Amino acid sequence: MSYNLIVLGGGPGGYTSAIRGASLGAKVALIEKAELGGLCLNKGCIPTKTYYHASFLKEKVKKMPKWGITISEECFNLEKVTERKELVISTLKKGIEFLLKGRKVDLYKGEGILLNPGQVKVGDQVLSGENILIATGTYAAFPKALTPNGENILSSDDMLNLKELPTSLLVVGAGVLGLEFASIYRSFGSEVMVLEILPQILPQEDPLIAEEVRKLLTRQGIKFYTGSTLVEMKAKDGKTLVEFLTPSGMERVEVEKVLIATGRKPLVPQGAGEIGLALDQLGTISIKEDLSTNIPGIYAAGDVSYKIQLAHLATHMGLQATENALHKKNKPVDLTIIPRVTYIHPPLALTGLTLKEASEAGIKARTVKVPWTAVGMALIEESRDGFCSFTVEEGSEKIVGVQILGNEAPNLISEGSVIVSEGLTLDKLSEIIHPHPTLGEIYFEAAEAGRGLGLHTLGSGLHYSLNNRGLGLRVP
């Protein structure tokens, strides 16, 4: 069979690209060896956020007496959460199947193997394509000594299928995945500890923001061991004895379950090496600004081709790659403004540049920060923890980054992306009317504070700046 576009991988970067290609009039084949929706739908974003929503509701139950509502926390049932998760996955998967069928995309079940720049083998069939888009995602990477066994040492997949709530949990890895599971299971009622080999949690984030998150989660009862190395794990009387070396010396803890959340690696399709497809030092497929590879007619998008692993980024890249391939364009993809979220309680969301990233980019900037309690809705919802901060370019007063730690941060951050993308200044943002009472008013409060005219904060908030002597703090 011959196609205008062959897409390898049915995840967020793949199935959306197949739909877009068909919408543009192309004959499209989509190859998926496992489940439609990929990691995100089946074992990542969607199931974990279903669990997160359950934990969010459980946190709400704790606060309900303040509104005159009393519900026993004993009603929590982990198996019901798992059932709900499966229903959500099944429903969304059927939706994808319906869309692919409606767009007349040919779906092939099996592993796509690259034979040459214009051919892909799947099962016993060989497909020919004018263009090939690789969106095969990643796979879980475990050090040999930390390989999950599905019993006491678990992967994130295992965590989504537990029948009983563990009394205690040690999470190895304090990246986004590790912190999300730590927060979820702490809310469910488990005793939770987090082990991280690097000196800070959320190692990829700004140290100031990471420290805020650490303080918040510590207050919620999560115990952190940073700068610590796992030495040994062994089963003992139905528990797991874990030994690790901290900056203060050797520690030993006994827990029921251990979650290994140490990251993922790019899943490059078979045949890539044989046809000469170039990879970078991280093992991802090397791409140009237009998402093409070193081989004409082959494009790549998403986790398999970029260091930042996010479903919405994979979709964005895939759609651009599809249009470039089919329209023979070389339009560069904009990867400068990528919103990202860590689903803890309350959630963290960022877009644009942090103060550290601005400094590394040679931009002289400062951070303006206001507390979550600057808006009335925070008290109405009893969601007082958190803040909103802007990274502001000195001189132009343009907002080049937004950071939010607070309830509804994932839904609020999209406005931040628009602000950064459009180059809004503090003055311009302060002129935009936000409805009252809403959490969205935090943008207005931060803009006013940045202008030295804070309304519901004393002074003009906290201002941070980086200079050649390091971090400086001034309180106007």
Domain with CATH 3.50.50.60 in the chain: 2-140+265-327, 144-262
pLDDT at 282: 87
Q: What angle do CA 34, 40, 43 make, to 5 degrees?
A: 65
Q: Which helix (H) or strand (E) holds 133?
A: strand 125-134
Active site residue 463: no
Q: How confident is the model at residue 263 (pLDDT cuts 50, 70, 90)?
A: confident
Tens of pLDDT, residues 226-242: 999 999 999 888 899 99
CA atoms of 115 and 131, how far apart (whole Å): 13
pLDDT at 475: 37
173 is in an annotated binding site: yes
178 is in an annotated binding site: yes
177 is in an annotated binding site: yes
Tens of pLDDT, residues 69-124: 988 766 789 999 999 999 999 999 999 999 999 999 999 999 999 999 999 999 99
Note the pTM of the prediction, 2 decimals: 0.92
- Catalytic residue, from 327, 436, 456, 463: name it: 436
CA terminus-to-terminus distance, the chain? 68
28 in Cβ contact with 318 (< 8 Å):
no
Task: Specify the CATH number for 2-140+265-327; select among 1.20.1250.20, 3.50.50.60, 1.10.357.10, 3.40.50.1000.
Answer: 3.50.50.60
List for the chain the helix, strand, coil content (%; round to 5): 35, 30, 35
Task: Classify 346-474 by CATH class.
Answer: alpha beta
176 is in an annotated binding site: yes
Task: Provide, rounded to the nearest whole percent, the portion of the chain with pLDDT above 70.
Answer: 96
What average pLDDT does range 321-336 have in this prediction?
A: 92
Tens of pLDDT, residues 363-401: 999 999 999 999 999 999 998 899 999 999 999 999 999
180 is in an annotated binding site: yes
SS3 131: strand
461 is in an annotated binding site: no
CA atoms 41, 192, 176, 350: torsion sign:
positive
> Which residue would you say has higher pLDDT here, 347 or 62?
347
In the predicted structure, residue 466 carries a pLDDT above the cut 60: no
Tens of pLDDT, residues 310-322: 999 999 999 999 9
Picking from 241, 284, 272, 305, the residue whose alpha carbon sits closest to that of residue 14 is: 305
CA atoms of 108 and 125, how far apart (whole Å): 10
CA atoms of 3 and 183, how far apart (whole Å): 46
β partners of residue 265: 139
β-bridge pairing 138-140 and 264-266: antiparallel
402 is in an annotated binding site: no
102 is in an annotated binding site: no
SS3 sequence of 443-467:
HHHHHHHHCCCCCCCCECEEEEEEE
At position 442, the amino acid (one-letter code) is: I
pLDDT at 460: 52
Going through 151-226 in order, the beta strands assigned E by DSSP cover 153-154, 168-172, 191-196, 223-226
Task: Classify 144-262 by CATH class.
Answer: alpha beta
CA atoms of 127 and 138, how far apart (whole Å): 24
SS3 254: strand
60 is in an annotated binding site: no
